[in-house]
C-alpha cells in the first residue's frame, strides 16, 4: 500500500494535529474580564473572592452594543484545488501491483458553506490491464464516491468526474484513490509484474462551489479570524505601523507574530506593514498594536470602549489604569476586514494585552468582543532542553513518551497483511545531542499465528537505513517478544524518523487469493524502550543548526534571545524582524513567548551579556557594529565595500543579502546572528530566505550571501535566488547543559584513560606506602 505521509505538505493536504484544539478551561492565577456583546455584563472565570485581594477590584464597564460586529460575507464563488499543490504528487501519483492506493488531505475554510464538490480525475494506465478486472476507486472520508474501469487504449488519457455529497465534507478531509489492477481474466500470477501500473496526473483537481458565511467576532474563536488554519490560501496579515516605533510596539509585535507562526505551523503566512487604514486590502486581516497616542487610527475604528482624548474610559467615564490591557475585535473597509486591537492607556497595558494572546493557558479563557486584562500570571520558562517536538531530555524513555504527528501519545500499534505499512514516528535528536557508542533500543512486539517464520521478520530503520531486525521464531505466533538493537551514533539527526516494519509471509500460499494475507498481523508495543548514551555539545557558529532554531530557541519560550534593530527602523527592518520572529515561532513550542526587541541605543548591557542576539539592519545603521569587526570574518563596509579574508573590493550596486553567525563579542557562550545588506533590496532577499522553506533549509556554514537572479524574482520560486556559503569562523564547542552534568559526561567519555590513570596512581601510591613502611620498620629496629 502506498501511503503519503504528512511531512512537508501544504495546508490543503496535511491533517492538523488534533491536540491543537485542547484548551484550559480555568486559569485561577489570572484575572481577565470579558465584555459580553449581547447582555453587556462583565463575566469572570471565577468569583472575585477566589482571587488575591489585588485582583478583586473590578472595573465598571460600558454597556456594549446589542450585537457583536461581524465580517460580512463575500459573494458566492468557485475554488479549484489542483492535486499538484501537494508536493507528494509532483509529476503524478503512480500505482503499482495488484492493489495500491494513495492518500491526499485537504481542509475546508471555516466560513465556507459548501454547495457542491467534484473530483475531476485525469489518469492513464498500462495497456496490459484487463478492463473487467481493473478499476480505480475514489473514497472521501472513508466513503466511496465512485469507480471507473481502467479500459483505455495505449497512450490514451482518461477523464472521470465524481460528485462528493456535501454532507461528507468536514474541516479535515481525506481523499483516497485506490487502484485494482489485473492483467489476466482469471488470475494475475505475479503481483510484481511491471505491466501492472496506472497513474493519476497532477492536473487532477477538486472543484468547490461555496457560499461564504459572515463571521461573528468573538475572542472565543481566537486566533480565528485573524488566521484560519483551515484556509486553502496563505493567511495574510497586515500590521498598522505606529507613528513612533518604540520598544513596547517592537516587542509586542514580535511576540504576537511568533505566536502566529506557532499557530500556522507549516502553513504559509504572508505579512506586510501599512501606514494608514486606507491601505488595507479586502483579503487581509489587520492587527493594530499600541496606545491611542501611538495609533491615532484607533479613533476611526468602531470599538466597544469609549475613547476620549487618547484615553479609554470605563463605564463611569474615568480613564482605565495605564497598566490595564485592552483587547478588542472590530472591522474596517466596510466590514470586510477583521481587525485585532491590542491597546491600553499606557505601554504596560499594551504589553499586557499582547502577552495575554501569546500565553496559551490564558488565551484559552478569552471570550466576547473585548477583554480587559488586569492581571496576568507569568509562565515559568521551560528547561533549556525541553523541546516537545524532539527526543526527551532523559536518557531512558519509552515509545509511549513520544508524540504522533497529531501530538497524541503512542499506544500499541497493530498492522495487517504481508505488505503492511511501517510504523513511522519522529525520532528527532536535539540539535546539541552527540550520541556515543552504547545507545540501544529494546523493541517489544507480538505477532499472530499462520506466519512462515523462515521468511518473516521484523526490522527497524532510521531515515530508510536498516539498523537491525530479527526473524520471527514461531508459526504459532509470539507474545511480548523483544529484540535489542544498537543505535548508530551517526544516523540520529534533528530531522530523523524511525520506521518499524513487519515483513510477514503466510505459511500457506494460494494463487489469486488475498485471504491468507489478511490474517497476518504484527503489533509494536508502546513500552518499547530506548536507552541513549549522549553528550550535550554543539559546535558553533553553524547556520545549519539555525534550521532547527538552535541556539535561539533554547529554551523554547525564546526567553534567552533578543532582537536588535536600528534606532529608527525602516519598513524593511521591521518586516525582517517579523519574519525572523515568525520563523522562531514555527521552530519552537512552549506555553508563552518571551522574545524581546530593542532599538540600538536602548539595549541594556545585561542583555548583550546574557542573551543570544539577532541584529537586523542595513550596514550603514546596523545596530551592533561589532558584527562587522575586521577580525570577525566576512564584513560589509562603507561605500559598498566588502572584505573577505585578505581581499577587499567595492561593488556597484550591492543587492545581496547577508546572514552571518558569530560568537557574541560580549559572551563567548552566546551567539550573534547578523541579518544585513547594503540596500533595502538585499534586506528583502534576507526576508525571503527566512520565509521560504526551500531557501531556509539550505543554510550552512557561518556566512550566507543571498542574491536574486532576476530584477523582480518570484518569491515562491527557489530557482530565482542564489545562495553563496562561506566558512571561515573557527567553531568552538558549546554546551547548554549544567556544569556537573558536563563533568560527568566528560568522565564517562574518557573512562578508559581514567581507569588506566587510576590504576597507575594506585600502584604509585602503593609503592610509596611500601617504602615508608620499610623505613619505619628499619627505624624501629
Beta-carbon contacts of 138 under 8 Å, excluding residues fewer than 6 positions away, are: 119, 121, 144, 145, 146, 147, 162, 175, 176, 177, 178
**pLDDT score of 40:** 34
**pLDDT score of 13:** 39
Q: Buried b / exposed e across 124-151, counting CB within 10 Å, b at 16+?
A: bbbebbeeebbbbbbbbeeeebeebebe
C-alpha cell recorded at residue 378: 507569568
**pLDDT score of 64:** 62
DSSP collapsed to 3 states, 334-351: CCCEEEEEEEECCHHHHH
- The answer to whether residues 173 and 141 touch, using CB atoms and an 8 Å cutoff, is yes
Residues, the chain:
781
**pLDDT score of 189:** 78
- The answer to whether residues 543 and 699 touch, using CB atoms and an 8 Å cutoff, is yes
pLDDT means per 10 residues, the chain with 781 residues, are: 35 35 33 40 33 53 70 94 87 91 94 95 95 95 96 93 96 95 86 92 96 95 96 97 95 98 95 97 96 96 93 92 96 96 97 96 90 94 95 95 86 89 93 94 95 93 96 93 95 96 84 64 96 93 96 97 97 98 97 97 96 96 88 73 71 87 93 95 95 95 91 78 88 67 50 66 76 72 56
Nearest to 248 by CA among 348, 124, 154, 171: 348
Nearest to 265 by CA among 697, 591, 588: 588
365 φ/ψ sector (left φ>0, alpha ψ -120 to 50, else beta): alpha
Q: What is the C-alpha to C-alpha distance for residues 137 and 104, in angstroms, rounded to an integer?
A: 14
- The answer to whether residues 543 and 705 touch, using CB atoms and an 8 Å cutoff, is no
The H or E element that residue 648 is part of is strand 647-650
- At 366, is the secondary structure helix, strand, or coil? coil
Query: Residue with C-alpha cell 504522533?
Result: 404
C-alpha cell recorded at residue 662: 558569530
In sequence order, what DSSP letters do the residues of 236-261 get, joined into one string?
EEEEE--SS--HHHHHHHHHHHHHHH
Q: What is the C-alpha to C-alpha distance for residues 714 and 433, in angstroms, rounded to an integer?
A: 37
Compute φ and ψ for 112, nearest 5 degrees: -95, 130
Amino acid at each position: 500500500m502506498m501511503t503519503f505521509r504528512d511531512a512537508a505538505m501544504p495546508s490543503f493536504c496535511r491533517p492538523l494535529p488534533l491536540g491543537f484544539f485542547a484548551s484550559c478551561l480555568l486559569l485561577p492565577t489570572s484575572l481577565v474580564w470579558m465584555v459580553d456583546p449581547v447582555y453587556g455584563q462583565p463575566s469572570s472565570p471565577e468569583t472575585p473572592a477566589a482571587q488575591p485581594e489585588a485582583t478583586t477590584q473590578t472595573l465598571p464597564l460600558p454597556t456594549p452594543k446589542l450585537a457583536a460586529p461581524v465580517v460580512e460575507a463575500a459573494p458566492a464563488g468557485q475554488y479549484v484545488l489542483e492535486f499538484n499543490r501537494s508536493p507528494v504528487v509532483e509529476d503524478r501519483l503512480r500505482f503499482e501491483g495488484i492493489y495500491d492506493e494513495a492518500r491526499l488531505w485537504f481542509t475546508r475554510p471555516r466560513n465556507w458553506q459548501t454547495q457542491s464538490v467534484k473530483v475531476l480525475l485525469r489518469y492513464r494506465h498500462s495497456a496490459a490491464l484487463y478492463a473487467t478486472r481493473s478499476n480505480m476507486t475514489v473514497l472521501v472520508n472513508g466513503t466511496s464516491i465512485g469507480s471507473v474501469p481502467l479500459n483505455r487504449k495505449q497512450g490514451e488519457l482518461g477523464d472521470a468526474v465524481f460528485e462528493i455529497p456535501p454532507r461528507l465534507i468536514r474541516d479535515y478531509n481525506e481523499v483516497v484513490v485506490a487502484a485494482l489492477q489485473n492483467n489476466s481474466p482469471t488470475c494475475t500470477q505475479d503481483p510484481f509484474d511491471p505491466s501492472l501500473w496506472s497513474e493519476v496526473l497532477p492536473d487532477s483537481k477538486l472543484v468547490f462551489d461555496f457560499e461564504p458565511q459572515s463571521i461573528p467576532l468573538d475572542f472565543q474563536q481566537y486566533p480565528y479570524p485573524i488566521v484560519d488554519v483551515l484556509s486553502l490560501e496563505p493567511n495574510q496579515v497586515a500590521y498598522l505601523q505606529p507613528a513612533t516605533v518604540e520598544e513596547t510596539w517592537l516587542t509586542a509585535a514580535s511576540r504576537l507574530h511568533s505566536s502566529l507562526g506557532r499557530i500556522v505551523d507549516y502553513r504559509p503566512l504572508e505579512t506586510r506593514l501599512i501606514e494608514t487604514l486606507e491601505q488595507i486590502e479586502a483579503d487581509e486581516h489587520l492587527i493594530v498594536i499600541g496606545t491611542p497616542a501611538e495609533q491615532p487610527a484607533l479613533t476611526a475604528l468602531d470599538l466597544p470602549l469609549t475613547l476620549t482624548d487618547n484615553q479609554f474610559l470605563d463605564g463611569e467615564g474615568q480613564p482605565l489604569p495605564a497598566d490595564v490591557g485592552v483587547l478588542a475585535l472590530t472591522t474596517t473597509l466596510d466590514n470586510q476586514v477583521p481587525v485585532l486591537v491590542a491597546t491600553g492607556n499606557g505601554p504596560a497595558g499594551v504589553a499586557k494585552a499582547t502577552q495575554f494572546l501569546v500565553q496559551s493557558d490564558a488565551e484559552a479563557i478569552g471570550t466576547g468582543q473585548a477583554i480587559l486584562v488586569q492581571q496576568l500570571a507569568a509562565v515559568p520558562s521551560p528547561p533549556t532542553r525541553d523541546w516537545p517536538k524532539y527526543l526527551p531530555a532523559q536518557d531512558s524513555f519509552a515509545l509511549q513518551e513520544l508524540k504522533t504527528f497529531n501530538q497524541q501519545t503512542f499506544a500499541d500499534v497493530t498492522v495487517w497483511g504481508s505488505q503492511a505499512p511501517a510504523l513511522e514516528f519522529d525520532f528527532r535528536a536535539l540539535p546539541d545531542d552527540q550520541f556515543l557508542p552504547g545507545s540501544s533500543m529494546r523493541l517489544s512486539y507480538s505477532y499472530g499465528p499462520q506466519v512462515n517464520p523462515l521468511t518473516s521478520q521484523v526490522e527497524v530503520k532510521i531515515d530508510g537505513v536498516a539498523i537491525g531486525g530479527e526473524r520471527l521464531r514461531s508459526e504459532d505466533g509470539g507474545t511480548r517478544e523483544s529484540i535489542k538493537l544498537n543505535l548508530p551514533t551517526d544516523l540520529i539527526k534533528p530531522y530523523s524518523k524511525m520506521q518499524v516494519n513487519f515483513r510477514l509471509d503466510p505459511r500457506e500460499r494460494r494463487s489469486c487469493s488475498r485471504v491468507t494475507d489478511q490474517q497476518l498481523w504484527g503489533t509494536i508495543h508502546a513500552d518499547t524502550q530506548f536507552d541513549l548514551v549522549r553528550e550535550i555539545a554543539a559546535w558553533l557558529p553553524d547556520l545549519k543548526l539555525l534550521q532547527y532554531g538552535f541556539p535561539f530557541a533554547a529554551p523554547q519560550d525564546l526567553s534567552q534571545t533578543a532582537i536588535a534593530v536600528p534606532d529608527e527602523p525602516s519598513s524593511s527592518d521591521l518586516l525582517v524582524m517579523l519574519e525572523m520572529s515568525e520563523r522562531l515561532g514555527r521552530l519552537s513550542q512552549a506555553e508563552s513567548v518571551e522574545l524581546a526587541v530593542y532599538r540600538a541605543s536602548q539595549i541594556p548591557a545585561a542583555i548583550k551579556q546574557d542573551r543570544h542576539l539577532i541584529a537586523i539592519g542595513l550596514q550603514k545603521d546596523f545596530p551592533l557594529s561589532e558584527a562587522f569587526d575586521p577580525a570577525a570574518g566576512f564584513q560589509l563596509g562603507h561605500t559598498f565595500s566588502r572584505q573577505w579574508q585578505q581581499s577587499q573590493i567595492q561593488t556597484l550596486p550591492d543587492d545581496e543579502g547577508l546572514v552571518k553567525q558569530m560568537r557574541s563579542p560580549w559572551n563567548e557562550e552566546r551567539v550573534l546572528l547578523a541579518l544585513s545588506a547594503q540596500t533595502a533590496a538585499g534586506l528583502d532577499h534576507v526576508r525571503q530566505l527566512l520565509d521560504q522553506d526551500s531557501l531556509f533549509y539550505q543554510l550552512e556554514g557561518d556566512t550566507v550571501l543571498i542574491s536574486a537572479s532576476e530584477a523582480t524574482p518570484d518569491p515562491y520560486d527557489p530557482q530565482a535566488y542564489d545562495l553563496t556559503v562561506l566558512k571561515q569562523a573557527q567553531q568552538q564547542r558549546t554546551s547548554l547543559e549544567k556544569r556537573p552534568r558536563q563533568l560527568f559526561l566528560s568522565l564517562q567519555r574518557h573512562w578508559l584513560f581514567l581507569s588506566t590513570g587510576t590504576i597507575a596512581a594506585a600502584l604509585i601510591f602503593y609503592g610509596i606506602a611500601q617504602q615508608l613502611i620499610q623505613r619505619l620498620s628499619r627505624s624501629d629496629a
